Amino acid sequence: MRVLITGGAGFIGSHLADLILQRGHTVLAMDNLVTGSMENLVHLEDDSRFSFIRHDVTEPIHVGGSLDAILHLASLPSPVDYLQMPIQTLKVGSLGVYHALGLARAKSARFLLASTSEVYGDPLVHPQPETYWGNVNPIGPRGVYDESKRFGEALTMAYHRTHDLQTRIARIFNTYGPRMRMQDGRVVPNFVGQALRGEPLTVYNDGSRTRSFCYVSDLVEGLYRLLLSDEVMPVNLGNPREITILELAQLVIHLAGSSSEIALVSPKGTRTEDDPQTRQPDIARARTLLGWEPAIALEQGLLRTIAYFQKRSASTV
Ligand code: UDP
Protein backbone atom coordinates (compact mmCIF):
# COMPACT_ATOMS: atom_id res chain seq x y z
CA MET A 1 0.00 0.00 0.00
CA ARG A 2 1.01 3.61 -0.53
CA VAL A 3 -0.29 5.36 2.58
CA LEU A 4 -0.66 9.04 3.44
CA ILE A 5 -0.56 9.93 7.13
CA THR A 6 -1.68 13.48 7.90
CA GLY A 7 -0.23 14.68 11.18
CA GLY A 8 2.61 12.29 10.38
CA ALA A 9 5.22 14.24 12.36
CA GLY A 10 3.11 14.16 15.49
CA PHE A 11 3.23 11.86 18.47
CA ILE A 12 0.80 9.17 17.27
CA GLY A 13 1.32 9.86 13.54
CA SER A 14 5.06 9.19 13.69
CA HIS A 15 4.58 5.91 15.59
CA LEU A 16 2.00 4.92 13.00
CA ALA A 17 4.48 5.72 10.21
CA ASP A 18 7.00 3.36 11.87
CA LEU A 19 4.44 0.56 12.14
CA ILE A 20 3.19 0.90 8.56
CA LEU A 21 6.74 0.90 7.19
CA GLN A 22 7.53 -2.17 9.33
CA ARG A 23 4.55 -3.93 7.76
CA GLY A 24 6.08 -3.41 4.31
CA HIS A 25 4.17 -0.41 2.97
CA THR A 26 5.20 3.02 1.65
CA VAL A 27 4.48 6.09 3.79
CA LEU A 28 3.99 9.73 2.94
CA ALA A 29 3.85 11.78 6.11
CA MET A 30 2.18 15.19 5.89
CA ASP A 31 2.39 17.82 8.61
CA ASN A 32 2.46 21.61 8.98
CA LEU A 33 4.75 21.22 12.02
CA VAL A 34 2.64 23.45 14.28
CA THR A 35 2.69 20.79 16.99
CA GLY A 36 4.47 17.98 15.12
CA SER A 37 8.27 17.81 14.91
CA MET A 38 10.76 16.50 12.34
CA GLU A 39 12.68 14.99 15.27
CA ASN A 40 9.95 12.35 15.41
CA LEU A 41 10.79 11.30 11.85
CA VAL A 42 14.55 11.81 11.67
CA HIS A 43 15.22 8.06 12.00
CA LEU A 44 13.24 7.46 8.77
CA GLU A 45 15.24 9.92 6.64
CA ASP A 46 17.20 7.22 4.79
CA ASP A 47 14.25 4.89 4.23
CA SER A 48 13.44 4.95 0.49
CA ARG A 49 9.82 4.00 1.26
CA PHE A 50 9.33 7.12 3.36
CA SER A 51 8.80 10.73 2.33
CA PHE A 52 7.64 13.90 4.03
CA ILE A 53 5.41 16.68 2.71
CA ARG A 54 5.10 19.94 4.63
CA HIS A 55 1.52 21.08 4.21
CA ASP A 56 -1.36 22.53 6.21
CA VAL A 57 -4.44 20.35 5.64
CA THR A 58 -6.76 23.31 6.10
CA GLU A 59 -5.62 24.15 2.53
CA PRO A 60 -6.59 21.77 -0.33
CA ILE A 61 -4.31 18.73 -0.47
CA HIS A 62 -2.60 17.60 -3.69
CA VAL A 63 -0.53 14.43 -3.79
CA GLY A 64 0.98 12.97 -6.96
CA GLY A 65 0.55 9.30 -7.87
CA SER A 66 -1.81 6.72 -6.45
CA LEU A 67 -2.81 6.34 -2.81
CA ASP A 68 -4.28 3.23 -1.24
CA ALA A 69 -5.07 4.67 2.17
CA ILE A 70 -5.24 7.96 4.03
CA LEU A 71 -4.90 7.97 7.80
CA HIS A 72 -6.11 11.38 8.87
CA LEU A 73 -4.47 12.25 12.19
CA ALA A 74 -3.80 15.98 11.71
CA SER A 75 -5.27 17.61 14.79
CA LEU A 76 -4.56 19.69 17.91
CA PRO A 77 -5.46 17.13 20.58
CA SER A 78 -3.85 18.72 23.64
CA PRO A 79 -6.38 20.83 25.58
CA VAL A 80 -3.64 23.44 26.10
CA ASP A 81 -3.22 23.77 22.33
CA TYR A 82 -6.88 23.82 21.43
CA LEU A 83 -7.69 26.34 24.13
CA GLN A 84 -4.91 28.58 22.76
CA MET A 85 -5.73 27.96 19.08
CA PRO A 86 -9.51 27.56 18.99
CA ILE A 87 -10.09 28.71 15.42
CA GLN A 88 -7.23 26.63 14.01
CA THR A 89 -8.67 23.66 15.91
CA LEU A 90 -12.07 24.16 14.31
CA LYS A 91 -10.48 24.59 10.88
CA VAL A 92 -8.31 21.48 11.05
CA GLY A 93 -11.23 19.46 12.43
CA SER A 94 -13.57 20.59 9.64
CA LEU A 95 -11.71 21.85 6.53
CA GLY A 96 -8.85 19.43 7.20
CA VAL A 97 -11.19 16.42 7.21
CA TYR A 98 -13.04 17.78 4.16
CA HIS A 99 -9.82 18.10 2.15
CA ALA A 100 -8.53 14.69 3.25
CA LEU A 101 -11.86 13.04 2.33
CA GLY A 102 -11.83 14.80 -1.05
CA LEU A 103 -8.35 13.43 -1.70
CA ALA A 104 -9.45 9.94 -0.64
CA ARG A 105 -12.35 10.12 -3.06
CA ALA A 106 -10.14 11.36 -5.92
CA LYS A 107 -7.64 8.55 -5.32
CA SER A 108 -10.24 5.86 -4.46
CA ALA A 109 -8.27 5.42 -1.24
CA ARG A 110 -9.48 3.94 2.02
CA PHE A 111 -9.90 6.68 4.65
CA LEU A 112 -9.41 6.41 8.41
CA LEU A 113 -10.43 9.30 10.66
CA ALA A 114 -8.64 9.66 13.99
CA SER A 115 -11.57 10.72 16.15
CA THR A 116 -11.62 10.94 19.92
CA SER A 117 -13.22 9.97 23.20
CA GLU A 118 -14.02 13.71 23.45
CA VAL A 119 -17.04 13.05 21.21
CA TYR A 120 -18.56 11.64 24.42
CA GLY A 121 -17.90 14.95 26.24
CA ASP A 122 -18.38 14.71 30.00
CA PRO A 123 -20.02 11.29 29.79
CA LEU A 124 -23.20 10.32 31.59
CA VAL A 125 -22.73 6.67 30.60
CA HIS A 126 -19.80 4.74 32.03
CA PRO A 127 -17.78 3.08 30.54
CA GLN A 128 -18.43 4.58 27.13
CA PRO A 129 -19.65 2.30 24.32
CA GLU A 130 -19.73 3.53 20.72
CA THR A 131 -23.54 3.63 20.86
CA TYR A 132 -23.40 6.51 23.38
CA TRP A 133 -24.13 9.89 21.73
CA GLY A 134 -22.28 11.93 24.30
CA ASN A 135 -22.71 14.96 26.53
CA VAL A 136 -20.88 17.86 24.88
CA ASN A 137 -21.20 21.57 25.61
CA PRO A 138 -20.99 23.04 22.08
CA ILE A 139 -20.22 26.59 23.25
CA GLY A 140 -17.79 25.78 26.06
CA PRO A 141 -14.01 26.11 25.60
CA ARG A 142 -13.60 22.41 24.77
CA GLY A 143 -16.41 22.64 22.19
CA VAL A 144 -13.91 23.74 19.53
CA TYR A 145 -12.23 20.35 19.68
CA ASP A 146 -15.20 18.14 20.53
CA GLU A 147 -17.59 19.60 17.98
CA SER A 148 -15.03 19.65 15.17
CA LYS A 149 -14.35 15.95 15.80
CA ARG A 150 -18.09 15.23 15.84
CA PHE A 151 -18.39 17.15 12.57
CA GLY A 152 -15.48 15.10 11.19
CA GLU A 153 -17.31 11.88 12.02
CA ALA A 154 -20.52 13.17 10.40
CA LEU A 155 -18.62 14.21 7.25
CA THR A 156 -16.83 10.87 7.08
CA MET A 157 -20.14 9.00 7.29
CA ALA A 158 -21.63 11.30 4.64
CA TYR A 159 -18.78 10.50 2.23
CA HIS A 160 -19.29 6.82 2.93
CA ARG A 161 -23.04 6.99 2.38
CA THR A 162 -22.98 9.39 -0.57
CA HIS A 163 -19.87 8.29 -2.44
CA ASP A 164 -19.49 4.74 -1.15
CA LEU A 165 -16.02 5.69 0.11
CA GLN A 166 -14.33 3.03 2.26
CA THR A 167 -14.14 4.81 5.61
CA ARG A 168 -13.10 3.93 9.17
CA ILE A 169 -13.55 5.93 12.38
CA ALA A 170 -11.31 5.35 15.41
CA ARG A 171 -12.32 6.97 18.69
CA ILE A 172 -8.98 7.34 20.42
CA PHE A 173 -8.91 7.55 24.22
CA ASN A 174 -6.04 9.11 26.21
CA THR A 175 -2.78 7.86 24.72
CA TYR A 176 0.75 8.44 26.01
CA GLY A 177 4.33 7.47 25.32
CA PRO A 178 7.64 8.61 23.86
CA ARG A 179 7.54 11.54 21.38
CA MET A 180 4.92 13.46 23.31
CA ARG A 181 6.21 17.00 23.56
CA MET A 182 7.57 17.96 26.97
CA GLN A 183 5.53 21.16 26.81
CA ASP A 184 2.46 19.38 25.47
CA GLY A 185 0.43 20.29 28.54
CA ARG A 186 -1.36 16.96 28.84
CA VAL A 187 -1.18 15.15 32.10
CA VAL A 188 1.42 12.46 31.39
CA PRO A 189 4.17 14.73 29.98
CA ASN A 190 3.36 17.32 32.65
CA PHE A 191 3.70 14.83 35.51
CA VAL A 192 6.74 13.04 34.11
CA GLY A 193 8.55 16.33 33.47
CA GLN A 194 7.71 17.64 36.93
CA ALA A 195 8.77 14.37 38.61
CA LEU A 196 12.10 14.36 36.78
CA ARG A 197 12.78 18.00 37.69
CA GLY A 198 11.82 17.39 41.34
CA GLU A 199 8.98 19.94 41.06
CA PRO A 200 5.54 19.44 42.60
CA LEU A 201 3.11 17.52 40.38
CA THR A 202 0.25 19.87 39.50
CA VAL A 203 -2.90 17.86 40.20
CA TYR A 204 -5.84 20.01 39.14
CA ASN A 205 -8.63 20.51 41.67
CA ASP A 206 -8.90 17.44 43.92
CA GLY A 207 -7.46 14.85 41.52
CA SER A 208 -10.60 12.72 41.63
CA ARG A 209 -11.23 12.87 37.89
CA THR A 210 -10.45 9.64 36.10
CA ARG A 211 -8.86 8.73 32.79
CA SER A 212 -7.77 5.48 31.14
CA PHE A 213 -4.32 5.60 29.55
CA CYS A 214 -3.25 3.59 26.51
CA TYR A 215 0.39 3.13 25.53
CA VAL A 216 1.11 4.36 22.02
CA SER A 217 2.36 1.04 20.55
CA ASP A 218 -0.96 -0.59 21.48
CA LEU A 219 -2.91 2.28 19.97
CA VAL A 220 -1.16 2.27 16.59
CA GLU A 221 -1.63 -1.50 16.30
CA GLY A 222 -5.35 -0.92 16.83
CA LEU A 223 -5.42 1.81 14.17
CA TYR A 224 -3.66 -0.44 11.68
CA ARG A 225 -6.04 -3.33 12.32
CA LEU A 226 -9.03 -1.02 11.97
CA LEU A 227 -7.72 0.27 8.65
CA LEU A 228 -7.47 -3.29 7.32
CA SER A 229 -10.88 -4.30 8.69
CA ASP A 230 -14.26 -3.86 7.01
CA GLU A 231 -15.78 -1.92 9.91
CA VAL A 232 -17.38 1.38 8.90
CA MET A 233 -18.98 2.32 12.22
CA PRO A 234 -16.82 3.93 14.96
CA VAL A 235 -14.53 1.76 17.08
CA ASN A 236 -13.18 2.81 20.50
CA LEU A 237 -9.43 2.33 20.92
CA GLY A 238 -8.02 2.75 24.40
CA ASN A 239 -6.96 0.95 27.53
CA PRO A 240 -9.89 0.20 29.86
CA ARG A 241 -7.79 0.44 33.04
CA GLU A 242 -9.14 3.58 34.72
CA ILE A 243 -7.36 5.53 37.45
CA THR A 244 -7.79 8.86 39.18
CA ILE A 245 -5.40 11.67 38.31
CA LEU A 246 -4.21 11.68 41.94
CA GLU A 247 -3.32 7.97 41.66
CA LEU A 248 -1.53 8.69 38.39
CA ALA A 249 0.56 11.38 40.11
CA GLN A 250 1.52 8.97 42.90
CA LEU A 251 2.42 6.28 40.37
CA VAL A 252 4.62 8.61 38.28
CA ILE A 253 6.49 9.79 41.42
CA HIS A 254 7.06 6.18 42.47
CA LEU A 255 8.18 4.94 39.04
CA ALA A 256 10.48 7.94 38.45
CA GLY A 257 12.06 7.45 41.91
CA SER A 258 11.28 11.13 42.43
CA SER A 259 11.15 13.14 45.65
CA SER A 260 8.49 15.45 44.18
CA GLU A 261 5.41 16.30 46.15
CA ILE A 262 1.85 16.58 44.94
CA ALA A 263 0.28 20.04 44.71
CA LEU A 264 -3.50 20.32 44.40
CA VAL A 265 -3.94 23.43 42.25
CA SER A 266 -6.78 25.30 40.58
CA PRO A 267 -5.47 26.20 37.14
CA LYS A 268 -6.20 29.67 35.80
CA GLY A 269 -8.60 30.38 32.95
CA THR A 270 -10.65 27.74 31.18
CA ARG A 271 -8.18 24.83 31.48
CA THR A 272 -10.54 22.66 33.54
CA GLU A 273 -13.88 24.05 32.39
CA ASP A 274 -16.07 21.13 31.21
CA ASP A 275 -13.15 18.79 32.06
CA PRO A 276 -14.77 15.32 31.88
CA GLN A 277 -15.22 13.77 35.33
CA THR A 278 -14.63 10.21 34.20
CA ARG A 279 -13.54 8.37 31.10
CA GLN A 280 -13.15 4.70 30.32
CA PRO A 281 -13.48 3.00 26.94
CA ASP A 282 -15.74 0.03 26.39
CA ILE A 283 -13.55 -1.89 23.93
CA ALA A 284 -15.85 -4.86 23.30
CA ARG A 285 -16.16 -3.92 19.64
CA ALA A 286 -12.39 -3.61 19.13
CA ARG A 287 -11.91 -7.00 20.82
CA THR A 288 -14.51 -8.72 18.66
CA LEU A 289 -14.01 -6.97 15.34
CA LEU A 290 -10.23 -6.48 15.38
CA GLY A 291 -9.05 -9.12 17.85
CA TRP A 292 -7.34 -6.20 19.56
CA GLU A 293 -6.71 -5.26 23.13
CA PRO A 294 -3.89 -3.36 24.84
CA ALA A 295 -0.86 -5.40 25.87
CA ILE A 296 1.27 -2.82 27.70
CA ALA A 297 0.49 -2.27 31.39
CA LEU A 298 0.40 1.33 32.64
CA GLU A 299 3.49 0.81 34.84
CA GLN A 300 5.48 -0.60 31.90
CA GLY A 301 4.41 2.18 29.54
CA LEU A 302 5.13 4.89 32.09
CA LEU A 303 8.63 3.49 32.70
CA ARG A 304 9.35 3.68 28.96
CA THR A 305 7.94 7.22 28.82
CA ILE A 306 10.00 8.32 31.83
CA ALA A 307 13.14 6.87 30.18
CA TYR A 308 12.37 8.81 26.99
CA PHE A 309 11.89 12.12 28.81
CA GLN A 310 15.01 11.47 30.89
CA LYS A 311 17.08 10.97 27.74
CA ARG A 312 15.61 14.06 26.10
CA SER A 313 16.19 16.32 29.07
CA ALA A 314 19.79 15.03 29.32
CA SER A 315 20.36 15.89 25.64
CA THR A 316 18.89 19.39 25.93
CA VAL A 317 20.91 20.42 29.00
N1 UDP B 1 -4.50 17.38 34.67
C2 UDP B 1 -3.94 17.63 35.89
N3 UDP B 1 -2.71 18.23 35.93
C4 UDP B 1 -2.01 18.57 34.81
C5 UDP B 1 -2.58 18.30 33.55
C6 UDP B 1 -3.84 17.71 33.51
O7 UDP B 1 -4.53 17.34 36.95
O8 UDP B 1 -0.89 19.10 34.94
C9 UDP B 1 -5.82 16.71 34.61
C10 UDP B 1 -6.87 17.39 33.74
O11 UDP B 1 -7.57 18.38 34.46
C12 UDP B 1 -7.75 16.20 33.36
C13 UDP B 1 -6.77 15.04 33.28
O14 UDP B 1 -5.61 15.43 34.03
O15 UDP B 1 -8.71 15.96 34.38
C16 UDP B 1 -6.33 14.69 31.87
O17 UDP B 1 -5.98 15.88 31.23
P18 UDP B 1 -5.25 15.94 29.81
O19 UDP B 1 -4.99 17.36 29.51
O20 UDP B 1 -4.09 15.02 29.77
O21 UDP B 1 -6.27 15.33 28.75
P22 UDP B 1 -7.86 15.23 28.60
O23 UDP B 1 -8.16 13.82 28.97
O24 UDP B 1 -8.53 16.20 29.52
O25 UDP B 1 -8.09 15.56 27.19
CATH number, domain containing residue 271: 3.90.25.10
Query: Do 41 and 66 reside in the same domain of the chain?
Result: yes
Q: Which of 180, 245, 272 to mutate to test the pocket of ligand 1 (most atoms within 8 A of CB)?
A: 245
Q: Indicate the pLDDT class of residue 314, thresholds 50, 70 and 90.
A: confident
Q: What are phi and psi of 70, to 5 degrees?
A: -125, 125
Q: Which pLDDT tens digit goes with each residue over 205-224?
A: 999 999 999 999 999 999 99
9 belongs to a structural domain: yes
Query: Do 15 and 112 reside in the same domain of the chain?
Result: yes
Residue 48 Cα, ligand 1 centroid: separation in angstroms?
A: 39
Query: Residue 269 has what pLDDT?
Result: 87
Query: Do 42 and 157 reside in the same domain of the chain?
Result: yes
289 belongs to a structural domain: no
Q: Indicate the pLDDT class of residue 268, thresholds 50, 70 and 90.
A: confident
Report the C-alpha gap between 292 and 226 in whole angstroms: 9
Q: Is residue 315 over pLDDT 80?
A: no
Q: Looking at residues 78-89, what average pLDDT do you find?
A: 95
Q: Which of 116, 142, 208, 211 to mutate to test the pocket of ligand 1 (most atoms within 8 A of CB)?
A: 211
Q: Looking at residues 77-101, what average pLDDT do you find?
A: 96
260 belongs to a structural domain: yes
CATH of the domain at 59: 3.40.50.720
Q: Is residue 251 over pLDDT 70?
A: yes
Q: Looking at residues 34-63, what average pLDDT do you find?
A: 97
136 belongs to a structural domain: yes
291 belongs to a structural domain: no
Q: Looking at residues 41-60, what average pLDDT do you find?
A: 98
Query: Do 304 and 171 reside in the same domain of the chain?
Result: no
Lowest mean pLDDT among 29-38, 123-132, 266-275: 266-275
Number of independent structural domains in the chain: 2
Query: Residue 192 has what pLDDT?
Result: 98
Query: Do 163 and 270 reside in the same domain of the chain?
Result: no
Query: Do 75 and 221 reside in the same domain of the chain?
Result: yes
Structural domain span for residue 255? 187-211+241-281+297-311
Q: Which pLDDT tens digit goes with each residue over 230-245?
A: 999 999 999 999 999 9
Q: Looking at residues 144-158, what average pLDDT do you find?
A: 98
pTM: 0.97
Q: Is residue 22 over pLDDT 80?
A: yes
270 belongs to a structural domain: yes
Query: Residue 168 has what pLDDT?
Result: 98
165 belongs to a structural domain: yes
Residue 190 Cα, ligand 1 centroid: separation in angstroms?
A: 9
Query: Residue 316 has what pLDDT?
Result: 67
| Percent of the chain surpassing pLDDT 70 | 99
Query: Residue 130 has what pLDDT?
Result: 98
Q: Indicate the pLDDT class of residue 147, thresholds 50, 70 and 90.
A: very high
CB 308 within 8 A of CB 179: yes
Query: Do 91 and 199 reside in the same domain of the chain?
Result: no
Report the C-alpha gap between 299 and 261 in whole angstroms: 19
Query: Residue 313 has what pLDDT?
Result: 86
Q: Is residue 263 over pLDDT 60?
A: yes
* 245-256 vs 298-316: helix crossing angle, rounded to 10: 60
Q: Is residue 133 over pLDDT 60?
A: yes
Annotated catalytic, 145? yes
Q: Is residue 317 over pLDDT 70?
A: no
Query: Do 254 and 229 reside in the same domain of the chain?
Result: no
Q: What are phi and psi of 311, to 5 degrees?
A: -65, -40
Residue 191 Cα, ligand 1 centroid: separation in angstroms?
A: 10
With a Cβ cut-off of 6 Å, ligand 1 is lined by 79, 174, 186-187, 190, 202-204, 209, 211, 245, 272, 275
Query: Do 152 and 256 reside in the same domain of the chain?
Result: no
Query: Do 76 and 195 reside in the same domain of the chain?
Result: no
Q: What is the DSSP string of 140-177?
A: STTHHHHHHHHHHHHHHHHHHHHH---EEEEEE--EE-
Query: Do 54 and 201 reside in the same domain of the chain?
Result: no
286 belongs to a structural domain: no
Query: Do 133 and 194 reside in the same domain of the chain?
Result: no
Residue 58 Cα, ligand 1 centroid: separation in angstroms?
A: 27
